[in-house]
A and B are shown apart, each in its own frame.
Chain A
């Protein structure tokens, strides 16, 4: 099947998902990101790679953090950034997703950064651009439904590589609500593609999707069993609306059984790192002593996230990107 995010030369045309992305493309993004981390240290935090390009942040679902980091990344590359919070504008008036896209195309967009509550929405946009002969416009998925959040997955890989160097001798545990998590799906795809020999998912049966083991992971329900000897602990956010109901009885019970405490973390390797995509629910999925502890790399994740997003955008649309 044609992978819609690669062009006919096998180069990255859009970034829609990590699932199916070749290993060298992932590595190339991480390599490209490395020098961008230094830009932040400069007095003038700007590179001219995307000068004159218009990037539209098209957010059909609320987000502050992801939208802001994309905006900062685009601005550091000298692009013009337009933020559209579509959930409060045109779709509320009944405009269809593709009508919105067509209108923005008419404003000479070069790239869309899309977040949408429905899985697959960025694919629909990419296919529409291809079908209407506008495939010079790039699409970056900033999170679609439960499906994918590829830049989050990539920044997580950047973080792991930064602290652990080699992927091929690691044991990584992903803890929490995998069922509803686009972050988890992108992490699993990235980790398995990069050659991590053991990826574990840990959580109650209500929060693990059917046949998740077919994605190449080992399933644990007991967090103590699952954390034994791991190098990396990746926590997932538990959405408020999932905490009381048919999926989980209470946040208190969740914290007691699956919350990451110092005592549970002690079962991992002594040099294990703890990651979280944010925003955190302290006292639900993670204890403050762990979130603020020496093993947490949660704030560096945010910093690396900007560099990784700069890498992705410059590779897609930059004149001097490594891919053009």
Chain B
């Protein structure tokens, strides 16, 4: 199918492009922008007047809850959410049940996703069997099955000897290791940032030291093992400073932040709003400001949704007993736009954090940009439209997010995956 997208504002962060140009697609790929290739006869023309035409978003953390937690969400419901949100590539954390520690499981996930024929999935394999932090997973086989990196999701490895061996083994193959900085004992019983809000509400706290101590350990071990480290979901200014310091000392290290931590702080817990029960915890406003600045100037490489659908039963409980996590796939674009608008960042820079920069971390070369030859994964959105986040409007099976009721910028009109229109606004 040959498609011409006309009248749109083309934003391609990878090529630093923000210009009014037409885009030409054929056989699931981008073939040209601006001038039509010779003899190009469009079978369909999409009028993108007033719309931004951007690469489909790449999300570094989208839990689809399969296998194991189908009562909370299914591949189908969450793929729909991804399409509605303009997200065309998903990195899947390994904390399913069972964990993504077996090549067969990963193959099944990839097969099921392919059959649904919507977003591309990039499984992140479990670094250790069952995420238990005891035995290494079959990393080489898992990569053959489709894994792009290895992680422990939110389950820290307690035994540093196992962690060191896991990093060494991954480094043998130059596999990427994504680690969530959470020191096991300091983070174990807490449910909120250890600060004024937790003190007032009587919620057990998680000190910033839970993040920094884990980071010291990870950075030290990555340095001695030569592992390629990506730090997931930074939550604190002090954590960011440690990443910068390691980088200044010549280490190849990347990091990301979630939409929740980019926009919220512990103050948003208000009167025990369990939708704000997240891992890592929402920290102080000062931390949030540091994360926003870090993402703006690229010290934080990417922004992700940290999509974690939780059913109502998991949230309609007292704060400390509630399941941590929030739905986010459909909010990734709106919250990127909101942050760009609030910080005065040009769209081409802001969108880089959810397209080309995120692609680099996952190791995707064929998407995340609009260079001819790239996969025609696209998101066409109206940046001026505002949508109120509501349970009814969310396609994800997880209806719980701290942003419920908020009016956010950006409405996705079309989502294309490999040149096929997978979502079209009615």
Partner-B contacts on A (CB < 8 A) = 1, 3-4, 19, 96-98, 116, 118-121, 123-124, 127-128, 144-148, 182, 185, 209-212, 214-215
Q: Enumerate 6 A-B pairs (CB-CB under 8 Å) in ascending A order.
A: A96-B317, A118-B321, A120-B320, A182-B202, A209-B205, A210-B194
Say whether B200 faces chain A, with CB atoms less than 8 Å apart. Answer: yes
Pairwise interchain contact B318-A96, C-beta atoms closer than 8 A: no
Pairwise interchain contact A124-B272, C-beta atoms closer than 8 A: yes
Pairwise interchain contact A119-B199, C-beta atoms closer than 8 A: no
Cα–Cα, bound, A150→B195 (Å): 22
**Chain A residues within 8 Å of B195, by CB:** 210-211
**Chain B residues within 8 Å of A123, by CB:** 271-272
Cα–Cα, bound, A118→B200 (Å): 14
- Which of chain B's residues 327-361 have a Cβ closer than 8 Å to chain A? none
Closest beta carbon of chain B to A102's beta carbon, Å: 11
Cα–Cα, bound, A214→B201 (Å): 13
Cα–Cα, bound, A120→B203 (Å): 9
**Chain B residues within 8 Å of A120, by CB:** 201, 203, 271-272, 318-320
Closest beta carbon of chain A to B42's beta carbon, Å: 51
**Chain B residues within 8 Å of A147, by CB:** 201-203
Pairwise interchain contact A209-B199, C-beta atoms closer than 8 A: yes
Say whether B198 faces chain A, with CB atoms less than 8 Å apart. Answer: yes
Pairwise interchain contact A148-B202, C-beta atoms closer than 8 A: yes
Pairwise interchain contact A119-B271, C-beta atoms closer than 8 A: no
Cα–Cα, bound, A121→B320 (Å): 9
Given contacts A118-B318, A120-B318, A210-B207, contact A146 B202 (CB under 8 A): yes
In the complex, what residue of chain A is closest to B191 when comparing beta carbons? Answer: A119
Closest beta carbon of chain B to A180's beta carbon, Å: 8
Closest beta carbon of chain A to B362's beta carbon, Å: 37
Pairwise interchain contact B202-A185, C-beta atoms closer than 8 A: yes
**Chain A residues within 8 Å of B141, by CB:** none
Other-chain contact of A98, B194, B199, B316 (Cβ < 8 Å): B316
Say whether B196 faces chain A, with CB atoms less than 8 Å apart. Answer: yes
**Chain A residues within 8 Å of B201, by CB:** 119-120, 147
**Chain A residues within 8 Å of B196, by CB:** 210-211, 214-215
Closest beta carbon of chain A to B272's beta carbon, Å: 3
Partner-A contacts on B (CB < 8 A) = 194-196, 198-205, 207, 270-272, 274, 313, 316-321
Given contacts A210-B194, A211-B195, contact A185 B205 (CB under 8 A): no
A-B contacts counted at CB < 8 A amount to 76
Cα–Cα, bound, A119→B189 (Å): 14
Pairwise interchain contact A185-B200, C-beta atoms closer than 8 A: yes
Other-chain contact of A97, B205, B207, B270, B317 (Cβ < 8 Å): B317
Given contacts A1-B270, A214-B199, contact A118 B320 (CB under 8 A): yes
Cα–Cα, bound, A211→B192 (Å): 14
In the complex, what residue of chain B is closest to A121 when comparing beta carbons? Answer: B318
Cα–Cα, bound, A142→B202 (Å): 15
In the complex, what residue of chain A is closest to B269 when comparing beta carbons? Answer: A120
Closest beta carbon of chain A to B267's beta carbon, Å: 9
Pairwise interchain contact A116-B318, C-beta atoms closer than 8 A: yes
- Of B199, B207, B274, B320, chain A has the most CB atoms within 10 Å of the CB of B199
Pairwise interchain contact A215-B199, C-beta atoms closer than 8 A: yes
In the complex, what residue of chain B is closest to A185 when comparing beta carbons? Answer: B202
Pairwise interchain contact A119-B319, C-beta atoms closer than 8 A: yes
Pairwise interchain contact A119-B318, C-beta atoms closer than 8 A: yes
Other-chain contact of B318, A97, A209, A214, A215 (Cβ < 8 Å): A97
**Chain B residues within 8 Å of A118, by CB:** 317-321
**Chain A residues within 8 Å of B204, by CB:** 146
In the complex, what residue of chain A is closest to B321 when comparing beta carbons? Answer: A118
Cα–Cα, bound, A218→B272 (Å): 26
Cα–Cα, bound, A3→B270 (Å): 10
Cα–Cα, bound, A124→B274 (Å): 9
Pairwise interchain contact A210-B199, C-beta atoms closer than 8 A: yes
In the complex, what residue of chain B is closest to A209 when comparing beta carbons? Answer: B199
**Chain A residues within 8 Å of B320, by CB:** 118-120, 145
In the complex, what residue of chain A is closest to B207 when comparing beta carbons? Answer: A210
- Of B207, B274, B313, B319, chain A has the most CB atoms within 10 Å of the CB of B319
Instruction: Please give me the 6 A-B residue pairs with the lowest Cβ-Cβ distance, nearest first.
Output: A146-B202, A120-B272, A147-B202, A118-B318, A209-B199, A119-B202
**Chain A residues within 8 Å of B271, by CB:** 1, 3-4, 120, 123, 127
Cα–Cα, bound, A98→B319 (Å): 13
**Chain B residues within 8 Å of A148, by CB:** 202
Cα–Cα, bound, A4→B270 (Å): 11
Other-chain contact of B199, A96, A127, A145, A211 (Cβ < 8 Å): A211
Closest beta carbon of chain A to B339's beta carbon, Å: 23
Cα–Cα, bound, A209→B190 (Å): 13
In the complex, what residue of chain A is closest to B199 when comparing beta carbons? Answer: A209
Cα–Cα, bound, A1→B276 (Å): 15
Other-chain contact of A96, B205, B313, B319 (Cβ < 8 Å): B313
Closest beta carbon of chain B to A271's beta carbon, Å: 32
**Chain B residues within 8 Å of A210, by CB:** 194-196, 198-199, 205, 207
In the complex, what residue of chain A is closest to B315 when comparing beta carbons? Answer: A124
**Chain B residues within 8 Å of A4, by CB:** 271
Closest beta carbon of chain B to A13's beta carbon, Å: 13
**Chain B residues within 8 Å of A3, by CB:** 271
Cα–Cα, bound, A98→B203 (Å): 20
User: Other CB < 8 Å A-B pairs besides A144-B202, A209-B199, 17 of them?
Assistant: A1-B271, A19-B200, A119-B318, A119-B319, A120-B201, A120-B318, A121-B318, A124-B318, A145-B202, A146-B203, A147-B201, A147-B203, A182-B202, A185-B202, A209-B198, A212-B199, A215-B199
